[in-house]
Amino acid sequence: MLYYLYEYLVSQDIHIPGLNLLRYISFRAAISVLMSLAIALLYGKKIINYLRRKQMGELVRDLGLEGQKQKEGTPTMGGLIIILATLIPVLLFTQVLNVYILLLIISVVWMGAIGFLDDYLKKMKKNKDGLSGKFKVIGQVGLGLIVGITMFFHSDVVVKRKYADAQVLNRNNVEKNFMETEKSTVSTVPFVKNNEFDYSGVLFWMEESDAEKWAWIVFIPIVIFIVTAVSNGANITDGIDGLAAGTSAVILLTLAFFAYVSGNMIFSDYLNIMFLPNMGETTIFAVAMVGAVIGFFWYNTYPAQVFMGDTGSLMLGGVIAVLAIILRKELLIPVLCGIFVIENLSVMLQVAVFKYRKKRFGLEYAQMNRLFKMSPLHHHYQKSGYHESKIVNRMIIIGVMLAIVCLITLKTR
C-alpha cells in the first residue's frame, strides 16, 4: 500500500525526502523482515497468553515418549502469530495487486483457515482427530487448482528467456542474444546444462501449438500434487519443538534468494536463468515470512511455550509449495524440502512394511519388527534416546546443507 502511496505522490509532483526508498525492493524487503520479526516477538507473547486464557491447549496423545505429558496444555494455534506477522508488512510494503503476491496471500489465508478449523475442532469439540483427512485434502486440492489455473491462464504470468539470434551477427560474427516475453509452462531442471523443462513436452504426440494449448492437463494436476504433498510434509514434520519452524525458515530464505535473482534482469542474465517479470515483489513476501517464522521460533524452541498447530504447519507447507511453483523451481523441492520428504517417506514406509509383514508373518511379528521404532522419523530418534533439541538442531543443519546444494544449482549444470 505504501508503494502505491509513493506512486501517487510522485504523480502529483509531491516529493518527500526519503520516500523514494520505497522504489527499491531491497529496502522494502529489509523493512518487512524487521517489522515481521518485531510483530512476532512483541505480540507473540500476547497471543500466547490469549490462547492460554481461552484454554486452547494441545491435546497430547500418549505415545510413550519422554517428556511428552509435560506438553499437555501448551497453547496451540500459534500459527496465528506467523500469519499476522507476515500479512501486515506484506500489505504495507508490497505491490498488493501483483498476481504473485495475491496468490501468496490467498495461500496464507486459505491454508491457515483449514488448519485453524482443524485445531478448533480438536480443542473445542474434544476431537483428537480434528478435521477429517478428506476435507484437508479437498482444501489442498482447491488451493492447487487456484494456483495452477492462475499460473497457466493469467496474462501477467510470463517468462523472459534469452535466445540467440542466428540471423543478426556483430562484427566478430558472434551471435547476439535477445529477450523474448512469452507464456510458458517451462520450469527449471537442476544440474542439467539446458536446464529447462516444458510440461507441454509431455504431450509429445501433439503438434507444438496444440501441446502448448493443452499443457494444463499435465501442469495443473502436478501443481495440485505438489501443494498437497508439501503441505502434508510440513504438517508431519511439526512434531517436536522448533522442528517445523526451523526447517521452514531455511527453506523460505532460500526461496527468497531465488525470487530476488529471478526477478532482477541483471542477476538473471548473469546467472543465465529465466527472468520472471514482477517476481521481485515476492522477495518481500518471502523475507517477511522468514521474519515471522523466526519470531515464532523464539517461543517455539524447547521447551515450547506455544505450538504452531495445523494453523501454522499446513499454511507453511502450502506457501512453500506455491512459492516454489511460481518461481519455476518446483523440481528442486525434493532437495530443498528434503526434511519434509524424509519425514513423509518414513510414515509411508512404516505403514507399507507393517502391512507387508502383517500379511506375510502375522500381526505379532509385524508389531515386534517395525521398520522404525516410531514414525515420523523424528519420533524414531526420540525413541532411540536423542534429546529433542539435538534432533531439531541436526535436522536444521541438514536443511542448511540442502539449501546450499540448491543454491549451487544456479551455476552447476
Per the annotation, binding residues are 235, 310
All three cell numbers of 398:
541438514
Contact 112, 76 (CB under 8 A): no
User: What number of CA atoms fall less than 13 Å from residue 88's CA on the CB side?
Assistant: 17
Query: What does 308-354 look like in DSSP terms, one character per residue?
Result: -HHHHHHHHHHHHHHHHHHTT-GGGHHHHTHHHHHHHHHHHHHHHHH
Contact 249, 294 (CB under 8 A): yes
Distance from chain centroid for Cα 346: 20
Q: Which residues are annotated as a binding site for Mg(2+)?
A: 235, 310
Fill in the amino acid letter for 142: G
> What residues have CB less than 8 Å from 184, skipping those under 6 apart?
158, 159, 161, 198, 212
Separation of alpha carbons 384 and 386, rounded Å? 6
Distance from chain centroid for Cα 353: 30
Contact 288, 78 (CB under 8 A): no
Could you give the C-alpha distances from 138 to 65, 141, 355, in angstroms and in order?
Answer: 32, 5, 27
Separation of alpha carbons 232 and 344, rounded Å? 8
